[in-house]
Chains A and B, each alone.
Chain A
Amino acid sequence: MHIQWPLFFWIFRSLSLLTLISSSLATAYVLLHDNPLEFFLDVNAVVFVISHSFLISLLLGRVRSESFAFLYSQGFSRDLLWRHVWLATLTSVLATWVPCAVLILTPLRSQFQDWMQNPWFPLMAPAESRFLTRSLLFYGMLLPIFHYEWIRSSMPFRGRVSGHLLVIDYFVCGLFLTERLWYFGTDLARTSMFLGFITISAILGLFGYWLHKRLEVGA
């Protein structure tokens, strides 16, 4: 993929403050949290990922703003813009989580907690790498939905369908988050739920890409 750096920086500019805040919060949380990190048992982490994903989409999808219309009137192809929107999204997520990954995997966090005389460490340290993969997986599920939603709601023929899909998604998401299903459900239920969620995200991601080509700007 050919990256147009001026375009990337232009788009990422709107995420820079959010990324700085989210990165600081996530790093501090990962370093200081005194229980072993387990993503779906940790409400704070789940809320953080949902909020971060939502704010990324909100900031990138201000379709009615003058700056959005300006960017989209500059002659870039919609494909190029879409790729750079995702690149900026990915950068914000990685800038937030790479420092956390460094803390968990090096394992600075474990040493710090051990130094703080936390009895869980270093015993639980190896299990914490799942925290990273699950949080990133959760981003992967949420971001296509949120990006789809801002595009869908800006279409001239917008209707209730997108809202319904989003509600379904949230519902699925809510179920997904219930530890009961995740930890005590059957393998079939878990797998079905997981595949269903992935499928919805993938379909909405593709729809988002398709609709973005037809996004009206400056209406």
Chain B
Amino acid sequence: MTESNIVMETIDLTRDFGGKVVLEDVSLTVGPGEILALLGPNGVGKSTLLKLISGMLMPSRGEARLWGESSWPPSAEMYRVACVLDGMSPPYGTRVSEIMSLKSCVSHRFDWKLATSLCEQHQISTASRWQTLSKGQKRWTLLVAALASGADLLVLDEPADGLDVATRRELYGLLREQSNDRGVTSIVASHIIADVERVADDVVILANGRVRLHSPLEQLRDEVFEVELPIETDHSVITPMAEVIFSRRANDALIAVIRFRSLHLAEQEFPGEISRHRVSLEDLYLAYRQPQQPPAQAEQQGLANERSH
């Protein structure tokens, strides 16, 4: 990715709160039109990362850049970013139309027609007051304001929170549409992995405030498999050709989630011996959530568990 082709970039981004490091040395890049799925358990720093990107928090170290400019202190370019973040809502008594009006004065590209039609489709009148809306309607209203804003970057924290499955699909469909039509970039933090898997181009998994994985989703689909290896497999053979993400012993085999560095090499090494199948993003995420351990240790652990049973 060339520098002029980068929408968002973080360089060694670190943030601590009162000495407790929440995010450490996060370096990412996102290009135009990409949809980046940000995954990770609760409290891992996803929301903090999104707030740092959108210029709401100051990094303790490193920086986040938007179109080449540091997002802290927030630059005049922030009008190109639309955020739907957790813990932020309009004041009591606000009308839906006021939220749209507010957004429309950020950018002259605000699409009133789109905003009105998306609200009407979900039985949200623009005259409705904020407190009269359901949880899902509130979330949808904020998403509509962001989607209709004409922003070049959407930063969404748990956008599907409170939305039913049909609305979630509609949302991700709209993200894909905006990405294809206008090259809008989206950074989406979500716990509903199956949803983001449908649209994401890139996946980032955070663990303990660090980037555990950053990869194009397509590449992961090609390279990550759950494999069943003979128990006597010499692990030093695996390591040069694959990264073992997670492994466990089951019966007389070693089940491992493996990211192949060279699938061709693996097929040569284990002709016919290796049974493998693709893993979903959800399974991959779960594999990355397990504590990392070398296969030999996993095997020993498996044996120990078996003996104790």
Contacts and interface: CB of A to CB of B under 8 A. Distances in A.
B184 to A, nearest CB: 14
Contacts of A217: 51, 56-57
Contacts of B105: 4-7
Interface stretch (B78-86, B164-172, B225-233, B234-242): B78-86
Contacts of A79: 76
**Most chain B CB neighbours (cut-off 10 Å) among A10, A213, A218:** A218
Interface in A203-219: 213-214, 216-219
A71 to B, nearest CB: 8
A66 B103 CA distance: 17
Contacts of A73: 54, 56, 83, 85, 88
A13 interface: yes
A219 to B, nearest CB: 6
B104 A213 contact: no
A218 B56 contact: yes
**Most chain A CB neighbours (cut-off 10 Å) among B81, B101, B102, B103:** B102
Which 5 A/B pairs are nearest by Cβ-Cβ distance?
A67-B91, A6-B101, A69-B88, A70-B88, A4-B105
Nearest to A213: B73
A176 B261 CA distance: 76
B91 A14 contact: yes
B103 A74 contact: yes
A77 B76 contact: yes
B51 A218 contact: yes
Contacts of A183: none
22 contacts: A4-B105, A7-B105, A13-B93, A66-B88, A66-B89, A67-B89, A70-B90, A71-B102, A73-B56, A74-B106, A75-B82, A75-B107, A75-B151, A76-B106, A77-B75, A77-B78, A77-B79, A156-B58, A213-B74, A214-B73, A218-B51, A218-B87
A216 B56 contact: yes
Contacts of A5: 105
Interface string A54-79: 00000000000011011111111111
B108 to A, nearest CB: 12
Interface of B: 17, 51, 54, 56-58, 72-76, 78-83, 85, 87-91, 93, 98, 101-107, 149, 151
A85 to B, nearest CB: 15
A10 B78 CA distance: 19
A82 to B, nearest CB: 12
A173 to B, nearest CB: 31
Contacts of A4: 105
**Most chain B CB neighbours (cut-off 10 Å) among A14, A71, A79, A217:** A217
A77 B88 contact: no
Contacts of B107: 75
A218 to B, nearest CB: 5
B106 A75 contact: yes
A170 B124 CA distance: 50
B102 A10 contact: yes
Contacts of A218: 51, 56-57, 85, 87-88
Contacts of B58: 156, 214, 216
Contacts of B76: 77, 79
Contacts of A75: 78-83, 106-107, 149, 151
Given A5-B105, A75-B79, 11 more contacts: A7-B102, A13-B91, A72-B56, A75-B82, A77-B74, A77-B79, A78-B74, A213-B74, A217-B56, A218-B87, A219-B56
Interface in A1-58: 4-7, 9-10, 13-14
A216 B75 CA distance: 14
Contact of A78 (B73, B85, B93, B151): B73
A79 B101 CA distance: 19
A10 B17 CA distance: 31
Contacts of B57: 216-219
Nearest to B74: A78
Contact of B98 (A10, A69, A156, A214): A10
Contacts of B73: 78, 213-214
